[in-house]
């Protein structure tokens, strides 16, 4: 092989590598554009409140078929209400390997209550398994605000009702 042929061969390899690099950058850029347009599912916690992506949650809810319900042992009413919610959404309640998990939890009070003002009383938390993880992560949190002297059963009912009212009629 002559020096000229070796030089041309090196140029071809360099040019091929450059073309592949450009192609990879363009492909990654296009993939990045697709991922940037896809809403991220899940919630970010900020103190007592959560910021969640409603559109991504709705898509996740539509894709799911099964729900696990979590309620405290002595709180059978909450468990029954969550089962009714799952049925209203067309989901099957299972004990394990569920697509989503539902629970209603009280919101911790900040201590002093002055007058009849509304405050966060309960949260309906909906969980899904994380991407590439078996850990449950919140995908939607519905916070109910009301009078602090409400009985827990009423608070649970109102929290679930508020969530159902938010859903489009086609989801129920």
The whole-number pLDDT of residue 35 equals 34
- Tell me: do 103 and 58 sit in the same domain: yes
Domains: count for the chain: 2
- Tell me: do 92 and 10 sit in the same domain: no
Asked if residue 13 has pLDDT above 90, the reply is no
- Tell me: do 29 and 106 sit in the same domain: no
Mind listing the pLDDT tens digit for each residue in 14-64?
A: 444 444 343 443 343 443 333 333 456 689 988 778 899 999 999 999 999
- Tell me: do 13 and 56 sit in the same domain: no
**Percent of the chain, pLDDT > 90?**
49
- Tell me: do 56 and 109 sit in the same domain: yes
Asked if residue 76 has pLDDT above 70, the reply is yes
The whole-number pLDDT of residue 148 equals 84
Who wins on pLDDT, 168 or 15? 168
Q: Whole-number mean pLDDT of the chain?
A: 78
- Tell me: do 126 and 152 sit in the same domain: yes
| Secondary structure of residue 36 in the 3-state scheme | helix
Closest CA to 38 of 61, 57, 56: 56
- Tell me: do 52 and 78 sit in the same domain: yes
Q: Give the domain range for residue 71.
A: 43-166
Residue 171 lies in a domain: no
Who wins on pLDDT, 10 or 35? 10
Least confident of 44-58, 74-88, 93-107: 44-58
Kindly report the CATH number assigned to the domain that includes residue 128: 3.40.50
- Tell me: do 103 and 142 sit in the same domain: yes
The model's confidence at residue 127, banded by pLDDT at 50, 70 and 90, is very high
- Tell me: do 70 and 135 sit in the same domain: yes
Beta strands in the chain (DSSP E): 43-46, 49-52, 66-70, 92-93, 100-106, 119-129, 136-146
């Amino acid at each position: 092989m002559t020096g000229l042929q070796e030089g041309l061969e090196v140029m071809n390899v360099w040019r091929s590598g450059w073309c592949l690099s450009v192609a990879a950058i363009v492909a990654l850029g296009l993939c990045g554009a697709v991922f940037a347009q896809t809403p991220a599912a899940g919630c970010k916690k900020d103190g007592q409140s959560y910021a969640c992506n409603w559109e991504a949650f709705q898509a996740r809810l539509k894709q799911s078929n099964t729900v696990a319900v979590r309620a405290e042992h002595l709180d059978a009413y909450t468990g029954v209400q969550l089962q009714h919610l799952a049925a209203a959404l067309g989901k099957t309640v299972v004990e394990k390997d569920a697509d989503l998990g539902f629970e209603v939890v009280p919101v911790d009070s900040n201590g002093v209550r002055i007058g009849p003002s509304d405050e966060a009383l309960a949260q309906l938390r909906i969980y899904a398994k994380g991407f590439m993880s078996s850990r449950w992560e919140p995908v939607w949190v519905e916070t109910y605000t009301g009078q602090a002297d409400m009985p827990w059963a009423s608070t649970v009912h109102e929290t679930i009702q508020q969530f159902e009212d938010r859903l489009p009629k086609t989801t129920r």
